Amino acid sequence: MLRAIGGTVLRAAAIEKGIIAAAPFSTEDAVRLMRSGYTVISNMNESLGIPQNIIVTRNEVLEKYPETSKRMLKAYIQGIQLAKFNKKEAIKAGYDAGLQGEADIVSAAWDLYSPGLTSDLSIAVPGIQQMLDEDIRAGFVDKNFTVDRVINDRILKIAQQELRAEGKLKQ
């Protein structure tokens, strides 16, 4: 099992001193470590098939505000499409919004992170199932906890259908 314990500096120091063999890092930190001679053994955006950002809400919010939820999801999908298909524009938008960092590191971090972005915000159920199975094995959640109790993608599917009908969903 691989879990992030401690901050980035602590994990990097532990790897450097041989206390631990591997640890998860953000894409930007991974780029810095790679430039220092360390090796990426797994890009979880690719291997798990899910990006690290997950949107969470209560079912009652989806039921009470379905139109607001749908508009937010449509905007998020379009933002992901900008980020996935327009690297230069996405990085510029990031800097315009306050992103800080060296341009070459940000560019390399984008290269690591973008493969995990789905073009339509589809949920990578196998990746979620893999994480849930590990949490059940570790005793973090009850063994009767299932993916269908975790994921409610009804409004997401409506948002995707509307974007397809509007010609705004790239594949």
Domain ranges of the chain: 1-41, 49-165
What is the band of 2 on the pLDDT scale with cuts at 50, 70, 90? low
What pLDDT sits at residue 126? 81
What pLDDT sits at residue 157? 93
What pLDDT sits at residue 14? 86
Helix axes 87-96, 103-113, angle to 10 degrees: 120
Q: Output b/e per residue, 126-138; b: 16+ Cβ within 10 A.
A: ebbeeebeeeeee
Average pLDDT value over all residues in the chain:
85
Q: What is the pLDDT of residues 109-118, one digit of tens each?
A: 888 888 777 7
Q: Are 37 and 123 in contact (CB under 8 A)?
A: no
Share of the chain above pLDDT 70, in %: 91
**pTM exceeds 0.75:** no
Q: What is the pLDDT of residues 102-155, one digit of tens each?
A: 999 999 988 888 877 778 888 878 878 888 888 899 898 898 888 888 888 999
